[in-house]
Amino acid sequence: MTSPEGDRQARERSSPLLAAWEHAELSLEQLWMRYFALGGDADLVDVEAHLAGLLSLPPEQHDMLAHAINERLDEILARHRVPYSRSIRRNPPTTGPLGALVTLIIGSGPAPPEKVPSLAAVAGRSLGVELGVYLIDQEQRQLVRMPADGTPGGARLNVEGTLAGRAFRTVQILSSDRGDQPRLWVPLLDGADRLGVLECGLGSPADLYDPALRDQCRWLSSLLGHLIASKEPYGDDLQRCRLSQPRSPSAELIWQQLPPLTAATEAFTLAGSLEPSYDVGGDAFDYALSEHTVSVAIFDAVGHGLQAGLIASAALAGYRSARRDSRGVYAQAGAIDDALAAGAFPGGTFVTGVLGELDIASGRLRYVNAGHPPPLLLRNGRVIRELRRGRRLPFGLETEQLTVGEEFLQPGDWLALYTDGIVEARNADGAWFGEDRLVEMLTHEVAAGQPPPETVRRLNQAVLAHQDGLLQDDASILLACWAPER
């Protein structure tokens, strides 16, 4: 039984609630359905008793009931507004989920890159949450908190072994109420590219189970991811916090040439990575997605350091020039040869690489392999063959023989392009990482249901661990997954 004080509080809360319900033009059953859709867990009888002042629901349940009625009153008010003689546009909203998004859009225009986390914090308050922005570091091992106005930054959370890291790895919203601090960890994405996570501090534990709030945090995270990616080229702060050491000039050159590490359409996902990330020289990859075709390329320039970076950049430039002119892989290979010849590089300069173009309607893959390790084709979670056709000398070396290989892919197939630094990584005992270990790891990760971005990250960590974190050569990989059923 409730206490006299509880009965009094119930009547006080019920009085305006009951009056509002009478104006809402809702039956008890209709009200309960709206309340339940917001996450309410009281049954119909308890709701009726609360409206009558006979029972006191918990404050969060009362608020959900009030919100259900207020939403209906807003609908009725809009219906009875007196029309103008012409259409009148409303002023920008300042509260709620739309207010949060508008705040972020309007505020980000003139803001320098480092102000984005502060704008996100302001937008989050429109949803009643306290936001913290964590960006993934260069090595994809830790999540680094960005400072906002009055909020310290620099805190790091490991990708392995933390709830924030799990949200990043699985690209799922996860909840936590440890230490009486309820929060949601929301993946921060630019399209399919994983940038980090949002920490959303909530007002009460009940908010952890509010599906509408989760959706609203996801909307905010999606917009914020696009803004961070678009702001990053305009300054250094968003990039600086992700670096644990300076990049070499060759690494800086290559990273500025690369597309995002992950991209996806409804039918295709691509993910790539380069190591050693702070000192990469001659490795690079590229891709292009469209409704009808998918183009992929990977390169490994001769040598090390800045000279190798310049050679790889020239190869990328020649490739992109031909590809964007709608020329096929045969002409693309010739364009790379021409670019290297025009670069006035020392004699003997060459680049190994693989160019591929997939026609999505037919599944036909046309490819050229210029002295590079053959790509691997995975089907039903197993490596079924190496693609050994379409071979020629490395780009930059004169060749009269240039054939184009063909392979017909099936939906669900994976394609793995990699440089020799992956399989030739050696541990202290001199043992190679090897192609067998690469095949075994790819098979295991695909069987475990890992998507390409997480598979690439795990493979990178395994190669680095095999060589105690010090690679003797660049090691790069590009995975492409054709999954129209996704």
Determine the pLDDT at residue 82.
72
Q: Has domain 96-238 been given CATH number 3.30.450.40?
A: yes
Q: CA–CA distance from 448 to each of 264, 381, 390, 438 (Å)?
A: 20, 9, 32, 15
* Residue in 128, 129, 104 with CA at minimum distance from that of residue 118: 104
- The pLDDT value recorded for residue 89 is 64
Q: Read off the tokens for 73.
A: 């009153």
**In the prediction, which pLDDT does 344 show?**
81
Mean per-residue pLDDT pooled into runs of 10, the chain (486 residues):
50 69 86 85 89 85 87 78 69 74 84 90 89 94 89 88 95 87 94 95 88 92 94 90 91 93 91 91 93 95 90 96 96 95 87 95 94 95 93 89 91 94 84 90 90 93 83 86 71
Please give the torsion angle defined by the CA atoms of residues 468, 470, 476 and 479, in that order, rounded to the nearest 10 degrees.
20
User: Which pLDDT score is estimated for 8?
Assistant: 47
Q: For the whole model, what pTM was predicted?
A: 0.78
The full set of domain ranges for the chain reads 4-79, 96-238, 247-482
pLDDT of residue 1: 46
pLDDT at 340: 94
Pairing of strands 268-275, 414-418: unpaired
Determine the pLDDT at residue 477: 95
The span from the CA of 351 to the CA of 359, in Å, is 26
CATH topology of domain 247-482: Phosphatase 2c; domain 1 (3.60.40)
